[in-house]
């Protein structure tokens, strides 16, 4: 099931892996917002170049990116593939009834470039940082503790729900779910399966919350200082300065030109 492949973290020893999580999160998010503002087609080359360079520094395998870009890439391709033919007034070329227009082609390049760069930066962020570390960094940056706890619990129990669903589905298949001669009955069985899954999830959430309260959940706890390594801190600080400078450069180039 797709729920079983939510974890995208890939262990490694690259400079991006050793980057301090809060600095990494803030810097890459700032760069994503800067790239989202780009409206000039000539900025696509430096945008994609910076993205490719950061991905190379992360040490993540190319298959990691291609596997995760396939489905959203197919969606965005179907959304923009017709733009050069239907949008704009400046004709670049015409072959019979097929006409390519400059404005539509520019819009397609901008959308595809921003999509690739922003999504790849997101994969770099989550591929080099464990989810628990990411949530902890968000909390240290000011995320309310309740929202951090909700994110952790939701992430954790998506796996439990996936396991429960798979077990129930296998059991129902052994009892004839999906047979052609019982199509109407199969729909009823699917409805029963989903309803039972929701009830089990609700009951489990109540038990987990009560267990957490008994163990002191909700009481104020002083945050523990995170371990620091001087070499990694200096490298992370350099990356932070460079990435933020690049983000500011894109914004300045977009606003001034």
CB 17 within 8 A of CB 59: yes
What is the spatial distance between Cα 59 and Cα 128, in angstroms, rounded to a whole number? 9
Least confidently predicted of 94-98, 221-225, 240-244 = 221-225
Least confidently predicted of 25-34, 50-59, 168-177 = 168-177
Position 184 scores a pLDDT of 59
Position 225 scores a pLDDT of 56
Position 226 scores a pLDDT of 53
Position 4 scores a pLDDT of 43
What would the pLDDT profile of 83-122 be if each residue is shown by its tens digit?
A: 888 887 888 888 877 888 888 889 999 999 999 999 999 9
| Per-domain residue ranges of the chain | 15-137+240-256, 143-215
Token pair 């450069």 in the structure block, residue? 249
Does 48 score more than 80 pLDDT?
yes
Least confidently predicted of 56-65, 96-105, 161-170 = 161-170
Confidence of residue 185 (pLDDT cuts 50, 70, 90): low
What is the spatial distance between Cα 147 and Cα 42, in angstroms, rounded to a whole number? 40
Position 180 scores a pLDDT of 55
Position 52 scores a pLDDT of 96
Query: What is the full DSSP assignment across 69-109?
Result: HHHHHHHHHHHHTTHHHHS-S-EEEEETTEEEEHHHHHHHH
Which pTM value belongs to this model?
0.76
């Amino acid at each position: 099931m797709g729920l079983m492949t939510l974890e995208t973290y890939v262990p490694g020893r690259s400079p991006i892996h050793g980057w301090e999580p809060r600095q990494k999160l803030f810097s890459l998010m700032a760069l994503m917002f800067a790239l989202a503002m780009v409206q000039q087609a000539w900025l696509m080359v430096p945008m994609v170049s910076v993205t490719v360079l950061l991905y190379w520094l992360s040490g993540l395998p190319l298959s990691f990116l291609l596997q995760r870009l396939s489905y959203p890439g197919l969606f965005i391709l179907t959304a923009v593939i017709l733009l050069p033919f239907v949008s704009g007034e400046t004709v670049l070329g015409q072959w019979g009834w097929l006409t390519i227009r400059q404005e539509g082609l520019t819009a397609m390049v901008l959308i595809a470039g921003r999509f690739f760069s922003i999504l790849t930066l997101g994969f770099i962020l989550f591929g080099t940082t464990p989810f628990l570390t990411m949530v902890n960094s968000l909390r240290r940056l000011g995320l309310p503790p309740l929202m951090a706890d909700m994110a952790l619990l939701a992430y954790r129990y998506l796996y439990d729900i996936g396991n429960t669903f798979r077990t129930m589905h296998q059991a129902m298949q052994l009892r004839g779910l999906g047979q052609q001669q019982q199509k109407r009955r199969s729909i009823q069985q699917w409805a029963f399966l989903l309803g039972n899954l929701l009830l089990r999830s609700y009951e489990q959430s109540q038990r987990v919350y009560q267990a957490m309260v008994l163990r002191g959940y909700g009481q104020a706890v002083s945050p523990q200082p995170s371990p620091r390594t001087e070499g990694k801190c200096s490298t992370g600080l350099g990356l932070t300065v460079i990435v933020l400078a690049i983000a500011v450069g894109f914004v300045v180039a977009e606003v001034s030109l």
